[in-house]
Protein backbone atom coordinates (compact mmCIF):
# COMPACT_ATOMS: atom_id res chain seq x y z
CA UNK A 1 0.00 0.00 0.00
CA UNK A 2 1.50 3.32 -1.02
CA UNK A 3 0.87 6.63 0.69
CA UNK A 4 0.42 9.67 -1.50
CA UNK A 5 -0.86 13.22 -1.29
CA UNK A 6 -3.01 14.87 -3.95
CA UNK A 7 -1.86 18.26 -5.25
CA UNK A 8 -3.70 20.74 -7.47
CA UNK A 9 -3.15 24.17 -9.03
CA UNK A 10 0.47 23.56 -9.99
CA UNK A 11 2.24 26.85 -10.80
CA UNK A 12 5.61 28.54 -11.09
CA UNK A 13 8.64 28.48 -13.37
CA UNK A 14 12.25 27.43 -13.27
CA UNK A 15 13.79 26.88 -10.75
CA UNK A 16 10.86 26.68 -8.33
CA UNK A 17 7.22 25.64 -8.44
CA UNK A 18 4.33 25.35 -5.98
CA UNK A 19 1.08 23.44 -5.77
CA UNK A 20 -1.84 23.32 -3.35
CA UNK A 21 -2.01 20.21 -1.19
CA UNK A 22 -5.50 18.79 -0.78
CA UNK A 23 -5.41 19.48 2.98
CA UNK A 24 -5.04 23.24 2.42
CA UNK A 25 -1.26 23.57 2.64
CA UNK A 26 1.21 24.35 -0.13
CA UNK A 27 4.05 22.17 -1.41
CA UNK A 28 7.15 23.87 -2.83
CA UNK A 29 9.80 22.31 -5.09
CA UNK A 30 13.13 23.78 -6.18
CA UNK A 31 15.41 22.21 -8.80
CA UNK A 32 18.76 23.87 -9.52
CA UNK A 33 22.48 23.08 -9.51
CA UNK A 34 21.75 19.34 -9.29
CA UNK A 35 19.73 19.82 -6.11
CA UNK A 36 16.06 19.06 -5.53
CA UNK A 37 14.41 20.54 -2.44
CA UNK A 38 10.79 19.97 -1.36
CA UNK A 39 8.89 21.62 1.50
CA UNK A 40 5.35 21.97 2.81
CA UNK A 41 3.81 24.89 4.68
CA UNK A 42 0.75 27.05 5.18
CA UNK A 43 1.99 29.50 2.52
CA UNK A 44 4.37 29.43 -0.43
CA UNK A 45 7.00 31.26 1.65
CA UNK A 46 6.65 28.87 4.59
CA UNK A 47 6.85 25.86 2.26
CA UNK A 48 10.01 27.33 0.71
CA UNK A 49 11.52 27.92 4.15
CA UNK A 50 10.72 24.30 5.13
CA UNK A 51 12.25 22.77 1.98
CA UNK A 52 14.78 19.99 2.48
CA UNK A 53 16.95 18.24 -0.08
CA UNK A 54 15.59 14.99 -1.52
CA UNK A 55 17.43 12.44 -3.69
CA UNK A 56 18.20 13.52 -7.26
CA UNK A 57 18.33 10.17 -9.02
CA UNK A 58 18.26 11.77 -12.51
CA UNK A 59 21.34 13.93 -12.15
CA UNK A 60 19.39 17.08 -13.02
CA UNK A 61 22.04 19.77 -13.12
CA UNK A 62 20.82 22.32 -15.65
CA UNK A 63 17.57 24.05 -16.42
CA UNK A 64 14.65 21.79 -15.63
CA UNK A 65 11.00 22.21 -16.47
CA UNK A 66 7.62 21.61 -14.86
CA UNK A 67 7.64 17.98 -16.03
CA UNK A 68 10.81 17.31 -14.01
CA UNK A 69 9.21 19.00 -11.01
CA UNK A 70 6.03 16.91 -11.28
CA UNK A 71 8.03 13.68 -11.60
CA UNK A 72 10.16 14.59 -8.57
CA UNK A 73 7.03 15.42 -6.55
CA UNK A 74 5.40 12.15 -7.58
CA UNK A 75 8.48 10.14 -6.57
CA UNK A 76 8.21 11.83 -3.17
CA UNK A 77 4.54 11.00 -2.59
CA UNK A 78 2.76 13.96 -4.21
CA UNK A 79 0.46 13.22 -7.13
CA UNK A 80 -0.94 15.94 -9.38
CA UNK A 81 -4.63 15.69 -10.18
CA UNK A 82 -5.70 17.79 -13.13
CA UNK A 83 -9.00 19.65 -12.85
CA UNK A 84 -12.08 18.09 -14.40
CA UNK A 85 -13.57 19.88 -17.37
CA UNK A 86 -15.95 22.57 -16.17
CA UNK A 87 -14.80 22.51 -12.54
CA UNK A 88 -13.43 25.66 -10.99
CA UNK A 89 -11.99 24.16 -7.78
CA UNK A 90 -9.26 21.96 -9.24
Question: 12-39, pLDDT tens digit by residue?
Answer: 999 999 999 988 999 999 999 889 999 9
What mean pLDDT is predicted for residues 36-55? 97
Residue of higher predicted confidence among 59 and 13: 13
**Can you give the residue ranges of every domain in the chain?**
18-80
Considering only CA atoms, which of 28, 22, 67, 68 is closest in space to residue 46? Answer: 28
* Backbone phi and psi for residue 77, each to the nearest 5 degrees, phi listed first: 95, 5
Q: Supply the pLDDT for residue 90.
A: 47
3-state secondary structure at position 69: helix
Amino acid sequence: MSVYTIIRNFRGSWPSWCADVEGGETVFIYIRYGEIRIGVGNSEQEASDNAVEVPNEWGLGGVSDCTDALVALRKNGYNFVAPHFGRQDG
